[in-house]
Structure 1
């Protein structure tokens, strides 16, 4: 009798185990996020996106973020710095030139990522920045990548930074691509964004940091200007002083560069085409939607101290907001978040886009967490003088729904190079 009930009990237990396995198996599905917080998730995706250009490796990134809690800027810095140090040590111990160069580029990216959430005045920032820049150029040198660093005169006593990556065939007739970043970019990371793939396609690329970006902000304290035709024009002037003028020049702006590049193209006819990667038609509208209307009333009635308290409370609850508020004040030279919002009202293409005469490519993510996709239609409607307007909006199934199509670099690159071939496939030879 005991044996019979024992068998029944075992079978019942097996049935429970099988049923439980079936339930949990059905729940065991993949996830599309690294962190619940959007900014921490997005910055992880940003690091991973550089894999295609030798700027990261999957497991190195995953091993790094498993030690990080969202909102912990110091923990983020510590984990990414340790990965950067480890990969840099690996590079130093590697004899193979290509493997060494790739490891140095990865170390650069991890160091750049490490300091992202640190306060602007954090003493760790300069040290980390020096390590990421040094690793980057050492990586290019090890790989034999041809480049020229250019110091661009700008205003009195200042300069901008640019790097030119020549095409293998300088007389190919292909346009020169000029690439600039945005709200939080660095000059060196632009190599991974487009330069390497453009070089594989036979294009030369000129990259640059303007006011508010990279070392120009960090070392000289130059903050953003909405009149982006000034820095962009200075970069072209400096380049043409020592190089043959290309038959065509196409300006690409990344992220906030989706405003900066079209603004420059509107006032400088030397740009034959412009790419908004992504759309960034009106930064003022974007900024205002993050601020409750009561805050403006309080500010107008001399209660800025109350607004400051509201900002601190929201920053404590939202790592994304805390970073955006801090970076905005740093890059625009403002003292309070509402001053940043006021300053950003100038960063609009409304009344400006009508001046653009060349070809325009607009890229956008359908679920961009920063720029509403509705700004695409406003931009298109304003381009009344453009020679042509091409728009690509990427949805979630395509993988390109994020801001700047992070995680889907090959997707937007395919559309970009098709557009380049269609619009500028036949170009005049370079001239002096």
Structure 2
């Protein structure tokens, strides 16, 4: 085939896809959805998920989303920022410390949500981020939550961790270590697991690594697929100042479904590892965002038409636009194709057989990021694991979304039952 003919085919593909898949409009809002657009719906569920642990209130969220137009990041920011400001002001004007602390935690969540869809270089992000973090620590300090801030040396930089010691007797239980994913913040891990763990008598060490939270924003550290390095640095710093717990269980959130198992494959100090949710092969998942014809163009050297397709889709799909921009930011890549290439290293295929711990794999049947088939692939690769437990949540359970958003207590029930089964507490 001549190069001229290949170019014509490539251009025809651009036009065909532009008229079809890339220009597809979201479906009408269905029952139980806040927005037709999946990204806006999903991030609203994310805000609501913190309700059980004082991080949101139903009416505040419902009132906020009334002022948002799906696909309009400016309206998203303005609405959530306004709610954050209002709730923070109300909290600081309240004398009752419990009400004040809880209001500040809700404001923190609304500020975190506000900046989420803005471009990485948007000047509104840094001040919103500061309000987010300040409100969180002011909130837990007001509530009297016991915690310790840890800085773990990492080359000439440092990583951040929060240690939440459990109540009396927690030293006899496993230490739960939790890290986030592609867009996580250290502080939101309190609502995700630390508060629930304390209620059940566990201590929690939450941490952020390269590409996440303030480590990314303040120090410019971007992701590494060798997640055993930042995780090991955090554990080393913790154990330098605290007695070694009887057991340690590592939980990885979202992209952490790859990151945590990767770390556990190279660090035998972890007795258990949880993929919350499964993320066996990130590269395959990322490439699947391009249709087969675009992948064919790449394989045949036509990056230009593929970049044109990506640019076109970012104008029509706000979720795709966010994923492209966030990927370049957190990975430190120069363009979307470089981001796709970088993700190829994020696969558990070559390392899963090294994991010797007990493994819990969670998944949502309607996960819009990760195909549920990756559960079986991960299970098959865990040839040396002490045990493997998998749970796939269906729509009826309420846990079918990625990371069971909107069903926080559902996955908690699974997780804490698994902990009791695999690591029973033996009184000393």
Tell me the TM-score normalized by structure 1. Answer: 0.90
Aligned length, in residue pairs: 400
CA contact (8 A) 2:394 2:400 kept: yes
2:40 aligned with 1:40, yes or no? yes
- RMSD over aligned CA atoms reads 1.6
2:399 aligned with 1:400, yes or no? yes
Report how far residue 306 of structure 1 moved. 3.4
2:75 aligned with 1:75, yes or no? yes
Q: Show the counterpart of 2:102.
A: 102
C-alpha distance in structure 2 between counterparts of 1:305 and 1:358, whole Å: 45
Report how far residue 292 of structure 1 moved. 3.2
CA contact (8 A) 2:225 2:259 kept: yes
Q: Show the counterpart of 2:180.
A: 181
Q: Show the counterpart of 2:379.
A: 380
C-alpha distance in structure 1 between counterparts of 2:262 and 2:302, whole Å: 35
2:222 aligned with 1:213, yes or no? no
Q: Classify the secondary structure of the residue corresponding to 2:105.
A: helix
Q: Show the counterpart of 1:10.
A: none
Q: Over residues 347-388 of structure 1, what are the superposed CA-to-partner deviations in whole Å (9 max), with x where a residue is unaligned?
A: 011021111101000101011111100000001111111111
Q: Classify the secondary structure of the residue corresponding to 1:90.
A: helix
Q: Show the counterpart of 2:152.
A: 152
Distance 1:379 1:30, change over 3 A: closer
C-alpha distance in structure 1 between counterparts of 2:289 and 2:305, whole Å: 17
C-alpha distance in structure 1 between counterparts of 2:176 and 2:79, whole Å: 35
2:240 aligned with 1:241, yes or no? yes
Q: Show the counterpart of 1:366.
A: 365
CA contact (8 A) 1:247 1:427 kept: no
Q: Show the counterpart of 1:411.
A: 410
Q: Show the counterpart of 2:198.
A: 199
Q: Show the counterpart of 1:291.
A: 290
Q: Show the counterpart of 1:140.
A: 140
C-alpha distance in structure 2 between counterparts of 1:296 and 1:410, whole Å: 40
CA contact (8 A) 1:298 1:304 kept: yes
Q: Show the counterpart of 2:6.
A: none
Q: Over residues 123-148 of structure 1, what are the superposed CA-to-partner deviations in whole Å (9 max), with x where a residue is unaligned?
A: 11110010000000000001000000
C-alpha distance in structure 2 between counterparts of 1:408 and 1:183, whole Å: 20
Q: Classify the secondary structure of the residue corresponding to 2:172.
A: coil
Q: Who wins on radius of gyration, i.e. which is larger?
A: 1
Q: Over residues 188-238 of structure 1, what are the superposed CA-to-partner deviations in whole Å (9 max), with x where a residue is unaligned?
A: 000010110000000000000100100111111111100000000000000
Q: Classify the secondary structure of the residue corresponding to 2:359.
A: strand
Alignment of structure 1 residues 21-40 onto 2, 5 Å: 31-40=31-40
C-alpha distance in structure 2 between counterparts of 1:279 and 1:171, whole Å: 28
Report how far residue 338 of structure 1 moved. 1.1
Alignment of structure 1 residues 49-128 onto 2, 5 Å: 49-128=49-128
CA contact (8 A) 1:175 1:427 kept: no
Report how far residue 40 of structure 1 moved. 0.4
CA contact (8 A) 2:79 2:114 kept: yes
Q: Classify the secondary structure of the residue corresponding to 1:346.
A: coil
Structure 1: 5+ residue runs without aligned partners? 1-28
CA contact (8 A) 1:272 1:358 kept: yes
